[in-house]
Amino acid sequence: MRLRALEDSLRESAVRAFGLPAGQVASLSVSPPPGHVDADASVSWPISAAKALRKPPLKIAEELKAALPPELTAGAVPPGFVNLKLADGFLIDSLRDITEKPGYFHRPEYAAEHISLEFVSANPTGPLHLASGRGATLGDSLARVFRALGAKVSEEFYVNDKGRQVEMLGLSLKARFEGAEPPEDGYHGDYMKDLAAGMPKEASSWDAAKFSEYAITEMLKLHRTDMAAFRVEFDRWFLESELHAAGAPAKALAELRARGMAYDKENAVWFGAASELESDDKDRVLVKSDGRNTYFLNDIAYHLDKLSRGFTRLIDVWGADHHGYVPRMEAAVGALAGAKDKFKVVIHQQVALKRGAELVKMSKRAGEFISLKELVDEVGTDACRFFFASRGPNTHLTFDVDLAKKRSNENPVYYVQYVHARISSIFANAAEKGVDPDAGFDPAAVAFNPEERALAMKLLWLEKVLGDCARDYSPHHLTTYLVELAALFHSFYDKHKVLDPQVPQATAFRLFLLRAVRKVIADALDLLGVSAPERM
């Protein structure tokens, strides 16, 4: 983690120069400089520190520059930046570490983290749809990012196999099996006809509950198959019925009462929002006056079960239709966990499908929708996952089917994958020409040209990008990074020859550089659940 070590050195210099406690320089960091600036990295901390130090930002920048170790080439520029030029040896050593050191991006603060990441959790009442695909991409990619940073992560799918929607599913299937129409508020999609057509003859003697059980079992088979094809492997499929079998809702209610967070009113039991971890705006019902649990109590029980399994942080990925449910869950789970920041809900917006110039109209309950499987079959898992990851979760996503199918640089996933394949072909070509791809070179003789330097620095910035993904709970920073890295490769490749027998040192260095580019592209694509082909 060369950039992290560089920042640590800069903070130590700031502590010495200004006599500050370490906590007051914690925000000091390096970032890419503006495109017009001839520097490798930039520090803007003097601007934010001006008020506390009661000095002009430029003066602080000059004093910080003077305190830096002599091996760092730096310049102070208005209004208060310290721009850094990194030594060629620093870049070469960093590229070697990225290429050769497993766990290079691990951060010490994640070493003790055990994260429960729950996502998709679609009701098993129909095939997975496009929003499920977006949630699956978001959750699984975040799990991969947190693992890359050094955390232990468990991926979980929560199955609501109890409640009214399951009852309606059974009644809808029973009606289809008997050749009738489902109830008005039932499930009308053609998938119910297909399910009914494959049922055994003895189903004629089943009651509605047996139809529900059969439908849930078959739908979960489809969900498991779809997720496997989408390159998502859950560590656990947790059934709501498991909670009830273990008496978990009653235990959760007892825990809430013991903590003074539940009270009785109007023959019902309520959750009290008044606590030091309050994020809800009013009290909520836990047990209805007829004695039935609300989904709220059952969900509290589920999250209490997660906490009992030793997770240090709970992350849930929910669809936009659950937005109003977040405050009450934050209030309850935050209180039970003992700290609000131990529970995070990531809301993702809906997905619209575009064919040509038209948006496709969809309705899940009416059965008029494109399933995730249909989209994967049409454009492939790679395009689906890259496109779903290309926007932050708070942004609505329009999935352009025609663009996703293009095999040209207009398609961002093709554009990035092509670079990996192009570099692989360069190494294959080197082998054919008898060029040793592992030949050494003299680091002291390397003089980076601008395109090589831009590539090398971009590889170093992946460290920051992963931190941004974790901070924002979104992998979209990775898709942007990969497209930018691909553009820098093309800029380099258009101007410079890689395999040149006349200059073996330059050839060896460029193969070394491109090996690092190829590895970073492959690793970053893998974090997105996207393949890195060697031929295209």
Q: Does pLDDT of 192 surpass 50?
A: yes
Taking only the tens place, the pLDDT of each residue in 212-241 is: 999 999 999 999 999 999 999 999 999 999
* Per-residue confidence (pLDDT) for residue 107, from 0 to 100: 94
467 by DSSP, 3-state: which?
helix
CA distance linking residue 112 with residue 448, whole number of Å: 39
* Per-residue confidence (pLDDT) for residue 495, from 0 to 100: 96
* Per-residue confidence (pLDDT) for residue 115, from 0 to 100: 98
Q: What is the mean pLDDT of the chain?
A: 93
For residues 170-199, average pLDDT: 94
For residues 324-349, average pLDDT: 90
* Per-residue confidence (pLDDT) for residue 210, from 0 to 100: 96
> Domain 110-348: what homologous superfamily?
HUPs (3.40.50.620)
CA distance linking residue 534 with residue 519, whole number of Å: 12
- pLDDT category, 275, cuts 50, 70, 90? very low
For residues 201-210, average pLDDT: 94
* Per-residue confidence (pLDDT) for residue 279, from 0 to 100: 47
- pLDDT category, 37, cuts 50, 70, 90? confident
Residue predicted with more confidence, 359 or 148: 148
Residue predicted with more confidence, 345 or 324: 345
The answer to which of 339-343, 367-371, 436-440 has the lowest mean pLDDT is 367-371
User: What is the amino acid identity at position 419?
Assistant: V
Q: Does pLDDT of 71 surpass 90?
A: no
* Per-residue confidence (pLDDT) for residue 367, from 0 to 100: 52
Residues of the chain with CATH 1.10.730.10: 412-527
Long-range CB pairs of 496-502 (<8 Å, 24+ gap) are 496/449, 496/451, 496/452, 498/426, 499/426, 499/429, 499/430, 499/433, 499/435, 501/433, 501/435
* Per-residue confidence (pLDDT) for residue 368, from 0 to 100: 60
- pLDDT category, 366, cuts 50, 70, 90? low
Q: Does pLDDT of 344 surpass 80?
A: yes
DSSP string computed for 183-200: PTTS--SHHHHHHHHTS-
Q: Are 385 and 530 in contact (CB under 8 A)?
A: yes
* Per-residue confidence (pLDDT) for residue 363, from 0 to 100: 60
Taking only the tens place, the pLDDT of each residue in 279-321 is: 445 678 999 999 999 999 999 999 999 999 999 999 999 999 8
The answer to which of 69-73, 142-146, 192-196 has the lowest mean pLDDT is 69-73
CATH architecture, domain defined by 2-86: 2-Layer Sandwich (3.30)
Alpha-carbon radius of gyration of the chain: 28
CA distance linking residue 242 with residue 480, whole number of Å: 41
Residue 352: beta bridge partners? 398
DSSP string computed for 151-173: -EEEEEEEE--SSHHHHHHHHHH
Q: Are 64 and 46 in contact (CB under 8 A)?
A: yes
* Per-residue confidence (pLDDT) for residue 360, from 0 to 100: 87
Q: Does pLDDT of 89 surpass 80?
A: yes
SS (H, E, C) 335-354: HHHCCHHHEEEEEECCEEEE
Q: Does pLDDT of 364 surpass 70?
A: no
CA distance linking residue 215 with residue 208, whole number of Å: 10
Q: Does pLDDT of 109 surpass 80?
A: yes
* Per-residue confidence (pLDDT) for residue 156, from 0 to 100: 98
Length, in residues, of the chain: 536
CA distance linking residue 421 with residue 30, whole number of Å: 32
For residues 269-277, average pLDDT: 66
CA distance linking residue 488 with residue 517, whole number of Å: 10
CATH architecture, domain defined by 412-527: Orthogonal Bundle (1.10)
Residues of the chain with CATH 3.40.50.620: 110-348
Taking only the tens place, the pLDDT of each residue in 397-453 is: 999 999 999 999 999 999 999 999 999 999 999 999 999 888 889 999 999 999 999
* Per-residue confidence (pLDDT) for residue 502, from 0 to 100: 86
Please report, rounded to a whole number, the percentage of residues in the chain having pLDDT higher than 70: 97
* Per-residue confidence (pLDDT) for residue 473, from 0 to 100: 98
Taking only the tens place, the pLDDT of each residue in 153-167 is: 999 999 999 988 999
Residues of the chain with CATH 3.30.1360.70: 2-86
* Per-residue confidence (pLDDT) for residue 281, from 0 to 100: 53
For residues 52-62, average pLDDT: 96
Taking only the tens place, the pLDDT of each residue in 459-504 is: 999 999 999 999 999 999 999 999 999 999 999 999 999 999 889 9
- pLDDT category, 273, cuts 50, 70, 90? low
Q: Does pLDDT of 41 surpass 60?
A: yes
